[in-house]
Structure 1
Amino acid sequence: MSRRARPEPEFRLKRIPGRRYWHIVWSERRRSKKVSTGEEDWTEARAWMSGWLRQRNALPGPKARTVTQVLDGYLEERRLAGVLAYQRLVEATKPLKRHFGAMVPDEITPASIARYDRARGHLSPWTLRKEKQTLRAALRWGERAGWYRQAPEVPLGPMPPPRDRWLDTGERQRLIDGARAPHVRTFIILGLYTGARKGAILGLQWPAVDFDTGLLTYVDPDRPETKKRRATIPMPNVVREELLRARVLAQTTYVIEWNGKPVKDIRQAFARACQQAGLVGVTPHVMRHTCASMLAMKGRPLDEIADFLTISPATVYRIYRKFKPDYLRDAAAALDESAPCGALIREQESNSAEK
């Protein structure tokens, strides 16, 4: 006797208490199942469910690869390549999988990207742009891998304005004083007065600190070179004094250590220091921005700032030229020279006579 065919599950959208997004719920083999649509709007959730159902019912094959499969393939390729920011890449793909995962690449359109922008509108523009860059890179990788003929276009939108947050003298001192643990204080001083990136500071080891020559080298020879360049720079006195103090307490080869182990992630400790200092909207990258701003305000040439921070001169010119004391002074002086001599005084006298 042949078995009776199982009926197709009944799929429906449901708001689950305590959850932000609409979920697809159904019962299969006497078990309740659900999957998040990643959408708050019912209409958008319904559209997402339609694509998800089409993919669920599709026959497996090279043309039926989902965006989730493409993202996973891209992540594996990046992992094997030994990229340094692999974990951040993994985090960036999580919301992409929730929103686009059930789709096939051909279903990604400017309209679906616009829906993603609305769903992730609570993020900073830079974070949202990074997520879409990850999606675009993964889709282009799938094209190169021969999984489909052409990757869909992923509009990134206009470049967000540069972050203008930087710390003045009082804020810098409060941040240093807010560091309760020695390794956090060392991290902050290195960030403020060498302008190094967070990863470079956490990867700094004592053999790269030369007290005799006064040079500090942000290079890890055991890691592959990336687009994020590392610097060899003279140590400011405040950095030298801090490193001499930290060297006495060192238990490992890493400059930033805690309990005899190198520090892998300092976000929470840094956030506590900011809270203690009463600072809002400050991240480790703000210290790098502060260092560049201080150099510009001291009148250092932009090329010199670029070399010190190992960033392109074009980036320094675009972001930091406004901090230079003489910025646009020549333009203002040229206007003064073009004005008729005594024109302002004559205008004021004329106005007084009319009164």
Structure 2
Amino acid sequence: MKDNLSVQEMDKRPLLEVQNLKKHFEVSDGFRKKKLLKAVDGINFYLNEGETLGIVGESGCGKSTTGNLLIHLLEKTDGKIIFNGKDLDQLTKEEMRKSRADIQMIFQDPFSSLNPRMRVVDIIGEPLKTHTKMKKNEIREKVYQLMDAVGLDRSYGSRYPHEFSGGQRQRIGIARAIALRPKLIICDEPVSALDVSIQAQILNLLIKLQKEFSLTFIFIAHGLPAVKYISDRIAVMYLGKIVEITTKNQLFNQPMHPYTVSLVSAVPLPDPFIRDTRERIILEGDIPSNVDIPSGCRFRTRCPYAQERCKLEEPDLVELEKGHSVACHFPFRTIQNKKGEDELEGISASK
């Protein structure tokens, strides 16, 4: 992309662009032989301002690693992260410091992410103390405003994290994340450690704050209902790759990747009549290792529709419909059409 863009062109650009992002770790196999664990293996996506992008997948698929790369808690192996029109690798130290203030994170564990020796007012006020020139009394008043915004009583300010419930601790973490009015917040499974009733409260709070503070979210989770509730678009990851990305309505109503179909069909439904009529894919076998990734399509060892081509060629993430991209040689809609014609003749589960 061109560097000297006009103001009008800049306005049209996404807030975040991720290009061929990779994170490989060198690991030992126990016999002094080094191998590469490909946690994130070349992903591409964009995020518009004010949007919420959900990232879902099984444990170990690379979704949390992606979040850590975006906020520079991990150094990437390859690829580009372009935030607000600027390549983060090209920033000076001062520019990088400012970008860190514009990208904040809400962590999965609301207890371990808070300093147990600091009071709530100091935890929430720490970003203001680090990144602004506000005076002590100004920081204190700002902290109280943030506590109001997340539903915490101001009298709790003198307490320590261990004195709160999980939901209250997560509210403290959220208040800290929004303190600097960031452009982007990465939510790394922020409700997975909470009770279901508290999950709903936190999700509603995030939606409310997004409107109030004009926030943009990346919402990482493995629970599809929560992701569906809060997201505008959803990216599905498998073994370090994005296999499907589209709007939440498209993903749940017309999933195209067999892995996505299996995830959607596994979501419990209260209506037994709908449950009985849904197309289902029951996955068999274990997830392959990120160290020894299968040749060709990395999902083929668990896919009931895999063919010889799947073993030989890795599918690219291709836009099949506007805004709906899939990495599959035989998207599920194609399989369904073929099934109606010849009942899947020739399709075998070759491994």
Considering the TM-score relative to the shorter chain, is it more than 0.5?
no
* TM tier relative to shorter chain: under 0.3
Quick check: which one's strand share is greater? 2
State the TM-score, normalizing by the size of structure 2.
0.23
Quick check: which one's helix share is greater? 1
Could you say which structure has the greater relative contact order, defined with CA pairs below 8 angstroms and 6 or more residues apart?
Answer: 2
